[in-house]
Each structure stands twice: as C-alpha cells, then as structure tokens.
Structure 1
Amino acid sequence: MTSPDEGYLLDNAQPEAGSRFDALSALFDASTFRHLDDLGLAPGWRCWEVGAGGPSVVTWLADRVGPSGHVLATDLDTSWATTAASDVVEISRHDVGLDAPPPGGFDLVHARLVLVHVPDRERALRTLVAALRPGGRLLLEDADPALQPLICLDERGPDEALANRLRRAFRELLASRGADLAYGRTLPRVLREAGLTDVTSDAYFPITSPACTALEAATVRQIRGDLVAAGLATDAEIDRHLANVTSGGLDLATSPMISASGRLP
C-alpha cells in the first residue's frame, strides 16, 4: 500500500493530466462559473485561483475582471495553465498547504478540488482566508466521494460491479495519500468556523455524460500502475474495464461536487 508521503496521486506532470483537466472542465466549469457570477464578480477585481490545473477557469476569470483586474493562478505544477498567462493573468508556483498567502489582498479566492487532497487542510484554509480583503469572497469546491461512493449507480451486471470495485480501489489509494473523502460535506461548517459570513452551499452531481466517460478513462490510465502495485487490481481487470468504458455501455457518475462560499467581514 502507498504511504502519505508519496505525494499527490493524480500528478499534473503525467500525460493523462491534460485529458483529466479537459473532462473536469466539461463537467464542472458551468457550475463553477454560475457560483462565481453569483458572488458578484466584476471588472477590476483581484482574484486568486488556487490549484489552477488547466487554463479554463483562469481564462474565464480574466475575461470577467478585464484589463483593470488581476488574476493570480497558482499550483504545484503550473505547466498546464501557462497558456492563460497575459497582462491580466500571473502564473506562479505555490503550495497552499505550506506557503504563506500571496501579498496584496484579493476580492475573490477560489479553489476547486484542492483542499480535499491537502494533508494540512486547516492550515491551507487559514492561508486562503488570510489572502482575502475585507469583504472578499472565498469559494471552495470539493468532491465528497464518501457521500456517493459508486461510479455505476445502476449495478446491473458484472461490468458495473467491476467499475465499482475499481472505484473503491481508487478511493483507497486517495485515502492512503492523505485525501479526506468526506471533506466536501464539511465546507459550510469550516467556512463559518473560519469567521466567514453569508455562507451558502450546494451540490452538483453528474450521473452520465461523455465527459464522465472521458474522466474515468483518463483517471484509470493515470493510476493504473498504482492500482497494480498496491494489489488492488490486475492488468487484465483494468484492460477489461477500459474496454467497457470505451464501448459507451456504462453510465458513469462522478462524486458530488460541493460548492460553498462565504464573505470576510
């Protein structure tokens, strides 16, 4: 079994990361953009996109804040976000679990699928809150795999059963790397405990779509070696599952994405 000090399971440096970012964008960008618009995002805002990954959210933020605004995009590996760099967008390496908050104060701080993977989540949250200006908004979005653990909700046969077994193995690997698989449901509470007001939250839960299929294929390919090394699956089982995914005969769901926002008084 892997140990927590072996690092993030879904490393951005792996070639499958680009496919994962594209699928995550297709699945969740519309929901993320709705929440950001609801927070009153406007021209001139200073924004910090934490764990930027791909460029889609960064580019959208830059368009909204315009030339009078500023978007700082950070990640442990910024290579996938570099195409978003511009006069408005600054790209920088930053470890939210270890580093001090960037200076200057922000009107908006956003992190999607970040804190669930950070071992010291409490410290990371303090860093995000400390980066806000008075009246600034924090939007956290994290999955809650423990809330809905199945990838095939309709387990009607052996193919669906295999998919669900591999999903359980994936969650076991995530937990072994320090991920909190029930963190998403805590977001409203942790925002209030951090001193934020006007806290609101909801969940978004795709059940089947081409992007769900693309995300599963990219994820399984990315963690294949880890699954086999940990004795959680065989190469033959993974090959069979990938063939099932590619055939389009599986209805593949995602974990619920919890979005929670609050304002610094």
Structure 2
Amino acid sequence: MARHTHGTGDEGYLLDNRQVEAGERFTALSQLFDPSTFRHFETVGVAEGWRCWEAGAGGTAVPAWLAQRVGSAGHVVATDIDTSWMGRAAGFAVLRHDVATEAPPPGGPFDLVHARLVLVHVADRDRALRSMVEALRPGGWLIVEDADPALQPRICPEEYGPAQELANRLRRGFRALLQQRGADLAYGRKLPRTLREAGLADVEADAYFPITSPACAVLEEATVRQVRDRLVAAGLATHEEIERHLANIAAGGLDLATSPMVSAWGRRPQAAHTAR
C-alpha cells in the first residue's frame, strides 16, 4: 500500500512512508479493506502452491495472508519502493522495487499479482500495469484495487453542520494536493476497461466503502496530521482549522467515510498475447 509517484514535477508522494503517521494509516487501511481484498482472493481461487506478487505492499497483512494460503509449496514476494514497514517478514520474500519503472521481480511467472492503492498514484500507470500483466503466467489473475475519490468526494457524506462542512473543505484541499502530484482521482472507475484493454479476460469489478467506522477516524486523523503543513503552505487551510477538525474527530461526532475502493480482476488468457 505504499505509493509511487514519478514525473509529476512536485515533491513526490504526498503520504510518504517515512513519516510516523504512515504506520497508523497502514493499520487503518488494513482494518477497513483487508476483508474485501481477501474475499477477492477467495473469488479467484488462491490456493496451495500458488506463486504471488504483492506490488506496493506497504505493510505485512496482505502478503502474510497470501503466504499462509499458498503454504510451503507456494511463493509470495512483497515489493515496495520503501520496505521500512515490512519488519521481519515471515513466510514471504521482501524486495525493494518500483513497479512503475522496473521489470517484474524474480519469482514469476505468477499465478496472482495484486496491487491495492498503488496505480492511482503512479504517473506512468499504463507501464506499471503492463509490467504486472507480463508477470502473470497464462491463466494467472491480476487484481487491482484503487480508490475513486471523484465518485464520492466527501469525507462526511452527510454535510449537515459546521464540523462536517469543515471536514469536507479540508478533504477538498487534500484532493487538490494529490492532483498536483499526478494522482488520478477518477482512476478506480477506469479499472474494468483498463484491464480489458491490457488483454485480460473474464474481467469483473465491484466497489466498497465504509460510511462510518472507528478505523475511518484513525485514518482521517493520521492523514490530516501527515499533510497539515502542506495544506497550510498551499493556503488550503489554517492551523486553527486543522486543530478544530482534529478535535471534532476526537469528539466522535463525525460520520467519516472513505472514497469508494474499486476492485477489478481479470485473467491472462491461456493463449499467448501481447498486453497493450
């Protein structure tokens, strides 16, 4: 779940893994989205002996689940441009790797390649996607999961008071910072078409987002603390507004949502093909 941004002409990825809040965000994202991700792994039939590549893993929860499922006969490699949150991996290999610029990692061809909250932040998304498709064995599955903030742009879907209005205004500022760094805030909805155009078959997709959850509050607090200085520097918020928003979160009266997470999956055909 760590991100890659190249060629945007700005300061790189907005939510840098090296910041202390990154760990809090990884934990919250795992609580929010791992059940949906694991459901999709079940859908494509991840089983003992599979070879899997978790691209942009960030933390350990997803590759650890895969490693347990594929067992000693299988192989899981977790890659990221920053592996500092991996710790001591158990049951899977960890490799520093940039999916946007490098060839697929060793260990393939893979039965499964998975990326969550990665491509939305990559400047050359098409190249990164091609790399993942090329790493699949014939019949192997690619699962890509990415947010679509433009589908549901509010952090508080019901904007019924000043606290909710402030939260949504800060969220608009956060989205502006993401766009400045090359993020495609409408990328999630494009995934089904993108996977078909890459040559995959049996493409399906769904979407999920919580409307309120304790983990949403943890995620929002960590995100705001991580980007507060950039929001202020860009004139998108004041320190006082940010402190007020953080106090509103702590008071527990906000129904905080996430952007829809669109999950799309497809299979590399058995016949040889060239991904576009």
Could you say which TM-score interval applies, normalised by the shorter chain? over 0.9
State whether residues 10 and 180 of structure 2, in contact with CA within 8 Å, keep that contact through their aligned partners in structure 1.
no
Contact 2:116 2:146 (C-alpha < 8 Å) held by counterparts: yes
Q: Percent identity among equivalent residues?
A: 71
Query: In structure 1, which of residues 69, 82, 85 is the aligned counterpart of residue 87 of structure 2?
Result: 82
**Structure 2 contact 55–79 (Cα < 8 Å) conserved:** yes
State which of 102, 105, 109 in structure 1 corresponds to 2:105.
102
Partner in structure 1 of residue 72 of structure 2 = 67
* Moved segments of 4+, more than 4 Å: none
**Contact kept? 2:44, 2:141, Cα under 8 Å:** yes
Q: Return the offset for 1:188.
A: 0.3
- TM-score scaled by structure 1? 0.97
After TM superposition, give the deviation of residue 205 of structure 1 in Å: 1.3
Could you say which residue in structure 2 is the equivalent of 1:132? 136
Map residues 1-265 of structure 1 onto 2, 5 A cutoff: 4-83=9-88, 85-86=89-90, 88-103=91-106, 104-265=108-269
Shift of 1:5: 3.2
Give distance in 2, aligned partners of 1:19 and 1:93. 21
TM-score relative to the length of structure 2: 0.93
Aligned Cα root-mean-square deviation (Å): 0.9
Task: Tell me the alpha carbon deviations over residues 177-225 of structure 1, each in whole angstroms, 9 at most, x when there is no partner.
Answer: 1100000000000000000000010000110000010000000001111
**Contact 2:46 2:70 (C-alpha < 8 Å) held by counterparts:** yes
* Distance in 2 separating the partners of 1:102 and 1:5: 28
Report if aligned partners of 1:53, 1:80 keep a CA contact under 8 Å in 2: yes
Alpha-carbon distance between aligned partners in 2 of 1:223 and 1:65, rounded to the nearest angstrom: 38
Give the superposition deviation at 1:79.
1.0
Distance 1:194 1:111 in 2: 15
Partner letter of residue 249 of structure 2? V
Does the 8 Å CA contact 1:196/1:263 hold for their aligned counterparts? yes
Deviation at 1:136, TM superposition (A): 0.5
Determine the C-alpha separation between the residues in 2 that align with 1:4 and 1:166.
23
Question: Contact conserved, 1:82 with 1:91, CA < 8 A, in 2?
Answer: no
Q: Residue 6 of structure 1: CA displacement?
A: 1.1
Amino acid at match of 1:94: H
Gaps in structure 1 of 5+ consecutive residues = none
Stretches of structure 2 that go unaligned for 5 or more consecutive residues are 1-7, 270-276
* Count of aligned positions: 261
Q: CA deviation at 1:35?
A: 0.3
Deviation at 1:58, TM superposition (A): 1.1
Whether the aligned pair in 2 keeps the contact of 1:116 and 1:143 (CA below 8 Å) is: yes
Distance 1:148 1:98 in 2: 31
Q: Using the alignment, how far apart are the partners of 2:158 and 2:187 within structure 1?
A: 25
Letter matched to residue 42 of structure 2: D
How many Å apart are 1:119 and its aligned residue? Answer: 0.4
Paired with 1:14 and 1:5, the residues of 2 have a C-alpha distance of: 18
Structure 1 or 2: more helix by fraction: 1
